[in-house]
Structure 1
Amino acid sequence: MKLSKTQFRKDFEQSLTSEFATDVAKAGITETFAALSSVVKQYYTQIWQGDNQYKDRSQKKQTYYFSIEFLPGKMLKSNLLNLGILSTVREGLQELGIDLEKVAQVEPDMAIGNGGLGRLASCFMDSAASTGLPVNGNGIRYRYGLFKQKIIDGYQVELPDSWLNNVNPWEVRRADKAIEVTFGGETWLEETEDGRLIPRYRNQERVLAVPYDTAMVGFENTRVNNMCLWRSEVPQDLDVKFQNMEYMRQTSMLSAELYPDDSNYDGRLLRLKQEYFFVSAGLQRIIRHYKSNKIAPIAQIADYIAVHINDTHPALCVPEFMRLLLDENGLSWEQAWDITVKVMSYTNHTILSEALEKWPEEMVHTLLPRIYQIINEIDKRRTDELLPHVGAELIHKTRIVKDGQIHMANLAIIGSHSTNGVAKLHSDILKDVELHDFYQLYPERFNNKTNGIADRRWLQISNARLSKLLDEKIGKSWRHDLVKLEALKDFREDTETLKQLAAVKLENKKDLAALIKEKNGIEVNPEAIFDVQIKRLHAYKRQLLNVLHILKLYFDIKDQPDLEMVPRVFIFGAKAAPGYHYAKAIIKVINEIAVMINEDAVVKDRLKLVFMENYNVSLAEAIIPAADVGEQISLASKEASGTSNMKFMLNGALTMATLDGANIEIKEACGDENIFIFGLTKDEVYEYYKNGNYNARDIYEQNPVVHRILNAFIDGTIPNITNEGPEIFESLTAFNDEYFLLRDFNDYVRAQKDLENLYRDQRAWAQASLMNIATSGIFSSDRTIRQYAKDIWFIEEKSEEV
């Protein structure tokens, strides 16, 4: 949009007056943020309205992306950038004596997601709008999100993340579009005179789902998509005798917290209830809008609507869509099933068994009796149809309902026309190993869509210095097409460009060093290697392998006080799930080792260890531009894709990597010489699984370096880990090191030495950094979302001539 500084200042000052009856000189920082957000919202509302009208008028097919979590981060600067007015507003505020960066810090991160799953969903929302694709999000408006992490005495402590204490300026409450969702009670089928079976209900629990819509503004275009988040409320017409405190509490809990503790029955029941809540509300809204617009008969809805199941959490989309077509719209089973399979598509994000949800039959039957009937009927009809052709064994392996449980991944695969993995290796593992039985039955449904990231946030917003340098060197076309970064390769031998690139990185490191000093009270050397591992704390991601190497470096210094080494700053950011005891033990150990190393006078500045609490999108935006190295060291075959690896690459960090997930494709893109590869391959891991011949205890006994490091967990070397140290020691020795840390340790040390040697040659390091940036364009989520649109959803981009 076109906007002058004069017009912006007028709009902003008028907003301060009308919203808070104050002026620029007297306004507080919170009032300033609220007034600025209100102005920005006014700027895009007209575009939003126009795009909605275009969608209704054109009746083009749209996609609805169902995800249990989104992780948008702060939206002020993102909206300003995408509207094309970031510089204008920054300069306009500056003329009024206001620093945009300080105002932006007031905005809380939207706490409606946790890790890579939610961040990917938000990158997709950004990319869909920016490429002109009609893709709408559907999730839950969590009141508290996951949790706010505090580190107290080295331990993770979970506090409520009350991100909604102040009004969320970007959302629009649509009370008139509220949907009723029902649970429990009794359900039975009655036959009508024409032979149809109609469900009847009694004693159901009623919950009102109220949508809160948030605009997803496209980058310098006229597309504004919608992210709908549902809040649970008590229906206003509910008889007062039912409105007891317990009912009201249970209703509010549906949208209270992301991933409630599922270590007990009540917690698991709440999770299942949440999943049906947002699935049912979202699908009902879609069909209501479809019918109100008189687009076409309901039997043709697959030509106009695509629904995407992001991981297994929204798998209930399949039976719920069937319910709506059968019960609410009178279609036959055959019609409804054909439509459902055409409408639904599914992304598998992990092969970890704990993430492939399974629910007890009894729980589903009690909570969702009609859905339970439909799931059983899907399972029965499929069995009857395929049994004569493929045999009992294959059918049993792929049943939805078996062993007293309902398998949600099986439901999602069977009830959709597409199942995709999120990196080439991951998709191959799905086809060849983890979902091979399904691949035999439905080979045409399986495909790969390697993940991507939204460079607008992860470069243009978070790394303004590098963005400016890129503009100067190769022009601005990369801002609309990230593959244009390839032009940077022409500067690989240009000394001045390499120096400028290194200077940008150093300034970013100075900024992060200041943040570390402010938050952690630790002084770090910006000239040191900033070696970063920021991701969810999970054993398979192997933060512990990183820790073992840090201990080796520490012992090297203690053994040789005059040892010359390139100074290293190791930076961690991670949350452990509240019930994940082992992951929380690792956090405690990291923090205690940090105290031991950082306070050791012998170590000096050669080694520092920093754990940054409450890792979130905003913290990632500060860390990633400053990273020299990104640690992507999961056991090969365990990480579906990874996206932090792509963010580090885009910002010129070199990757320390196993051949896992998208690391393989990153290696192919940037070249072997610009990445550090180590460790077992996927085939070698599966060979160990097949033969069962891995013996971690032997490595402990025979490798003196490993022996000394592991003993440090139990002999008092590391202080204050009386409980955690033995637990970790036992996991690696007595319980045979599930993720092969000790097997990969020597090769990891070798790769780390290669990294140090390359860093000593600053020109060569800058060249490798440049090549990572130049070859990162294929990991744009714009590319990914276009592939989904073309191959799975069959939707079209909006032409800007419209």
Structure 2
Amino acid sequence: MGKSRAGARDRDWFLATAYAVRNRVIDRWLEATRAAYENGAKQVYYLSLEFLVGRLLRDNVSNLRLTETLREALAPLGVDFDTLRQAEPDAALGNGGLGRLAACFMESLASLGIPAFGYGIRYEHGLFRQILREGWQHEYPEDWLTFDNPWEFARPEIAHDIGFGGSVEAVRVSEAEVRQVWHPAETVQAVAYDTPVVGWRGEHVNTLRLWSARALDPLKLEAFNFGDHVGALADRMRQEAISKVLYPSDETPAGQELRLRQEYFFTSAALQDLVRRHLRVYGDLRSLPEKVAIQLNDTHPAIAVAELMRICVDLHGIPWDEAWAITRGTISYTNHTLLPEALESWPVPLMERLLPRHMQLIYLINAHHLDEVRAGHPGDNRLLASLSLIEEGHGRRVRMGHLAFVGSHKVNGVSALHSELLKQTVFRDFHHIAPERITNKTNGVTFRRWLHQANPGLTGLLAEVLGPRVLDDAGVLEQLAPHAADAGFRDRFAAVKRANKEALAALIRRQLDLRVDPGAMFDVQIKRIHEYKRQLLNILETVALYDAIRSQPHLDWVPRVKIFAGKAAASYHRAKLIIKLTHDVARVVNSDPTVRGLLKVAFLPNYNVSLAEMIVPAADLSEQISTAGMEASGTGNMKLALNGALTMGTLDGANVEILERVGADNIFIFGLTTDQVEARRRDGTHGAAAIQVSHRLGEVLEAVESGVFSPDDRGRYRDLIGSLRGHDYFMVSADFDSYFEAQRRADARWRDGAGWMRSAVLNTAGVGWFSSDRTIAEYAEEIWRVPVRR
């Protein structure tokens, strides 16, 4: 680093250590890439707008099995490994579950020895850094790249031209053939940055290739010399904005355009890159389905269907039917949501202006697709309208989920319930015409990150009791179940949990100046702030509990610490209001002496992977309380259960499968089912009906609505609470009483210390199936058709 030991700071020691560790990776990485091509192995390309990889030093050192070696090397230098790793910034390349899932999948692909590339965007500032002032969220640029990223390798020689706008010219190449030639009005370069992804025990290393936008003309020199110094850089700034920020606000037309530019930018770069690599080795695109598997992570890269067709038809002269067979045989699509607003669609005028050739191709794909539908279902105009790639109502829009479906040979949901709901709801008509297309691949998490690294105390205990094989095979966790009856083991399990809680309590004290009791139940809800995830339900129950503790002080109340963390989208005003309400309630509850410390509320700012690694091992109760039928899977539920937290949840997403594996006695299920939610929505049942029969809920809503928690602005939450009295789309009012009662069941279980700890052990024992290794093995065998190293 060019510094003496005396002048070196923690960041210098981190960088020096990271470079030393990186040297142990490079040879394995290059060898893995070479071997894949020499062996003719089929390669997986995972396209995702997010890769929430977090800090990588401990991840890489752990997977290389160098942790103790590194500690011993640093000790004589007076450097503490745990201190220097805190100097690593948390890579801001994702928002939440989608991005963290992609990171888990990349690690599992490497651990299972599957040759793979991850493709995404190298966001200079990522999502945003969340600063909370008086309970209000403010967004600031995340500066994670300011002091260099030692894990990435710049590849300026690998750059692809990405076009936007312009016109399409019909060029006659023979009497029988006319070729469409796209002349973009604007071209941006996508420049590659590669990060090695180290698998378990360092036996295989894959590549995460992220693209950075670079202007071809960085400076209009003539304008600069005439004194227009800002204008000379304007085009460069606009073009390079593509890789500045994750999820720019789409409230304005300019914001919508930037999002579409981002999606096409990284998707086109990825496809150009993988085609280049394929042709260099195999020479013919017709072998693409045999040698390449492309997985679309949600609808963000769905434009890949049209782009691969463009590459085949326009650039390589492949006939349409052959090109379509190549495209569909290569691409598969993962759906992550049933929310209509999250199934992306783009205005046709925007697509025609920004990607004119792709819009032509989408029209052609749609025409062939509807011809097939019409042939099989003549006269069914409703079906044609439902399955069309173009939505005609309320302004013509391109349905990207539909495009991804028709262009893929397999479409998967991410939990058993979600996959069934896909068949019954958003893709019902597609399932009718293509009943073999939809399959299920329940999500998983990498245990190397979320157990071995996040919870070394528990990992050591498990290895001692179950043997070292538990480090390699998550299925071994099943053998832990008999130990739940062993009081001695439960005490050791509880001691590990207590140490993790003490560490989190110290963090809360440092960040919030709030003292919490590690002996209290740590009740945790950590996830993106969204109405369907129902942080509002949690905070309303907190108010009800607060009122009950004050009014009935003679009862044996269980001490609780309610821990929240999560970011609201910059333009999601109601989610931001829920954050503010949480802080307002926390201010009142935490300062009220009549509560006697029995209830505390903590909202930890700027939620990221590193913060999750502190919270997850310390959690006692895991809040997975989304409206039934709205959470595709969830992965936080898996991480928390793995670390011995009991789930408080609805029958939604992967909660259903967790229930099956840990047993009904070791989870707290409440609330309406998916069918009941839909029935209430169809019947037009309003929240007022639930409020009318719940005296407790009525009092809570009145207190919040009247300004008890917001004396500075008594009308702050009037509209928020009013929505619960009306349509109550997310069933907060409808589920409140069931939720409150389930929380009291949790209290009763907590009072039985041995019973709670028995359930905690059984949760850890029961969730070995939720490993991302299992998920990736299923993708490999059933969708990608690639071999897996067992």
- The TM-score bracket by the shorter chain reads over 0.9
5 Å-filtered alignment, 1:330-345, equals 330-345=317-332
Tell me how far apart the structure 2 counterparts of residues 705 and 280 of structure 1 sit (CA, whole Å): 55
Picking from 50, 65, 68, the partner of 1:84 is 65
Q: Contact between 1:598 and 1:608, CA under 8 Å: does it hold in 2?
A: yes
- Identify which of 220, 228, 234 aligns with 2:201: 220
Q: 1:707 to 1:275 in 2, by over 3 A?
A: same
Q: Report 1:268-417 matches (<5 A).
A: 268-293=256-281, 295-390=282-377, 391-403=380-392, 404-417=396-409
CA distance 1:632–1:203, change in 2 (3 Å): closer
Structure 2: distance between partners of 1:271 and 1:100: 40
User: Which residue of structure 1 aligns with residue 4 of structure 2?
Assistant: 22
Partner of 1:566: 558
What corresponds to 1:746 in structure 2?
Answer: 737
CA distance in 2, matches of 1:158, 1:723: 25
Q: State the AA in 2 paired with 1:397.
A: S
When the two chains are superposed, the root-mean-square deviation of aligned CA atoms in Å is: 1.5
Q: 1:195 to 1:798 in 2, by over 3 A?
A: farther
2:606 corresponding residue in structure 1: 614
Indicate whether 1:37 and 2:29 are aligned: no
- Which among 120, 132, 144 is matched to residue 151 of structure 1? 132
- For the pair 1:769 / 2:757, whether they are aligned, the reply is no
Native 8 Å contact 2:652 2:674 kept in 1: yes
Deviation at 1:741, TM superposition (A): 1.1
Tell me the distance in 1 between the aligned counterparts of 2:474 and 2:496.
20
Aligned to 1:642: 634
C-alpha separation in 2, matches of 1:155 and 1:232: 33
For residues 102 and 94 of structure 1, what CA distance do their matches in structure 2 show?
12
**Structure 1 residues 255 and 769, CA, compared in 2 at 3 Å: closer, same or farther?**
same
| CA distance 1:237–1:684, change in 2 (3 Å) | closer
Query: Do the aligned partners of 2:172 and 2:178 also contact (CA within 8 Å) in 1?
Result: yes
Structure 1, 668-677 or 25-34: larger mean CA deviation: 25-34
Matched, 1:581 2:573: yes
| CA-CA distance at 1:585 after TM superposition | 0.5
- Checking the alignment, whether the CA contact within 8 Å between 2:708 and 2:714 is kept in structure 1 is no
Q: State the Cα deviation string for residues 766-785 of structure 1 (Å, max 9, x = none).
A: 11000000111000000000
| 1:518 aligns to 2:510 (yes or no) | yes
Q: Secondary structure, in 3 states, of the residue corresponding to 1:346?
A: strand
CA contact (8 A) 2:344 2:401 kept: yes
Q: Decide which of 693, 706, 721 is 1:702's aligned counterpart.
A: 693
Q: Is the 8 A contact 1:20 1:31 kept in 2?
A: no
Q: 1:156-167 alignment to 2 at 5 Å?
A: 156-167=137-148
C-alpha contact (below 8 Å) 1:589/1:721 kept by paired residues? no
Distance in 1 (CA, whole Å) between partners of 2:686 and 2:403 is 38
Q: Counterparts of 1:95 and 1:644 in 2: how far apart (Å)?
A: 39
CA distance in 2, matches of 1:597, 1:368: 54
Q: CA deviation at 1:241?
A: 6.8
Q: Write the distance in 1 (CA, Å) between the matches of 2:203 and 2:765.
A: 29
> Whole-Å Cα distance in 1 between the matches of residues 278 and 536 of structure 2?
51
How far, CA to CA, are the matches of 1:324 and 1:704 in structure 2?
Answer: 64
Match of 1:501 among 471, 493, 497: 493
Does structure 1 retain, via aligned residues, the 8 Å contact 2:219–2:236?
no
The CA distance in 2 between the partners of 1:275 and 1:556, in whole Å, is 50
| Corresponding position: 1:129 with 2:120 | no
The runs of at least 4 consecutive aligned structure 1 residues that moved more than 4 Å come to 236-243
CA distance in 1, matches of 2:183, 2:219: 15
8 Å CA contact retained: 2:549, 2:557? no
Matches of 1:158 and 1:563, distance apart in 2: 43
Which residue in the other structure is 1:431 paired with? 423
TM-score, reference length from structure 2: 0.97
- Cα deviations across residues 542-592 of structure 1 (Å, max 9, x unaligned)? 111111111111101221234431100000001000110100000000001
Code of the residue aligned with 2:265 in structure 1: it is F
Separation in structure 1 between the aligned mates of residue 570 and residue 482 of structure 2, nearest angstrom: 49
TM-score in terms of structure 1 length: 0.95
Does the aligned pair in 2 maintain the 1:588–1:721 contact within 8 Å?
no
- Tell me how far apart the structure 2 counterparts of residues 643 and 54 of structure 1 sit (CA, whole Å): 33
What is the CA distance between 1:685 and its match in structure 2? 1.1
Matched, 1:258 2:249: no
Q: Following the alignment from structure 2 to structure 1, what is the Cα–Cα distance between the partners of residues 630 and 713? A: 28
Contact 1:592 1:721 in 2 (8 A): no
Pick from 518, 527, 535 the counterpart of residue 535 of structure 1: 527
Counterparts of 2:217 and 2:186, CA distance in 1: 14
Q: Secondary structure of the equivalent of 1:492?
A: helix
Whole-Å separation in 2 of the counterparts to 1:565 and 1:768: 21
CA displacement 1:322-361 (0-9 Å, x = unmatched): 0001111110001000110000000000011111001011
Deviates most, 787-796 or 557-566 = 557-566
Per the TM alignment, residue 276 of structure 1 is displaced from its structure 2 partner at its CA by 0.4
Contact 2:219 2:232 in 1 (8 A): no
User: Structure 1 counterpart of 2:506, which letter?
Assistant: A
CA contact (8 A) 1:170 1:215 kept: yes
- Check whether the contact 2:92–2:126 (CA below 8 A) recurs between aligned residues: yes
Contact 2:707/2:716 (8 A) holds in 1:
no
Q: Which amino acid aligns with 1:712?
A: A
Question: Using the alignment, how far apart are the partners of 1:48 and 1:723 within structure 2?
Answer: 59
Per the TM alignment, residue 671 of structure 1 is displaced from its structure 2 partner at its CA by 0.4
The one of 109, 119, 132 equivalent to 2:100 is 119
Asked if the contact 1:450–1:641 (Cα under 8 Å) also holds between the matched residues in 2, the reply is yes
**Counterparts of residues 651-800 of structure 1 (less than 5 Å):** 651-692=643-684, 694-719=685-710, 720-733=712-725, 735-797=726-788
- Contact 1:641–1:662 (CA under 8 A) maintained in structure 2: yes
Match of 2:463 among 443, 457, 471: 471
* Cα distance between partner residues in 2 of 1:291 and 1:285: 10
Distance 2:302 2:527 in 1: 26
Q: Once the 2 structures are TM-superposed, how far is the Cα of residue 487 of structure 1 from its aligned partner?
A: 1.3
Q: Distance in 1 between matches of 2:37 and 2:220?
A: 37
The residue type equivalent to 1:101 in the other structure is D
1:230-259, CA deviations, whole angstroms, 9 ceiling, x for partnerless residues? 000012699867994221111110000000
CA drift at 1:114: 0.3
Q: How many residues align?
A: 777
8 Å CA contact 2:220–2:232 kept in 1: the answer is no
CA distance in 1, matches of 2:505, 2:40: 52
Give the % identical residues.
Answer: 42
Structure 2 Cα separation of the partners of residues 353 and 667 of structure 1: 27
Q: Which one-letter code corresponds to 1:95 in the other structure?
A: P
Q: 1:330 to 1:798 in 2, by over 3 A?
A: farther
Q: 1:127 to 1:209 in 2, by over 3 A?
A: same
What amino acid is the match of 2:611?
L
Q: Matched residues in 1 for 2:700 and 2:76: separation?
A: 57
Deviation, 1:384, is: 2.0
Residue deviations 1:593-631, cap 9 Å, x none? 000000001112100000000011000000010000000
Q: CA deviation at 1:798?
A: 5.1
User: Which is worse superposed, 218-227 or 310-319?
Assistant: 218-227
In the alignment, structure 1 residue 171 sits paired with structure 2 residue 159: no
Paired AA for residue 318 in structure 2 = L
TM-superposed deviation, 1:747: 1.1
Q: Using a 3 Å threshold, how does the CA distance of structure 1 residues 539 and 721 change in structure 2: closer, same or farther?
A: farther
Q: Report Cα offsets for 1:392-440 as digits up to 9, x if no partner.
A: 3212201002311100000000001011000000000001222110001
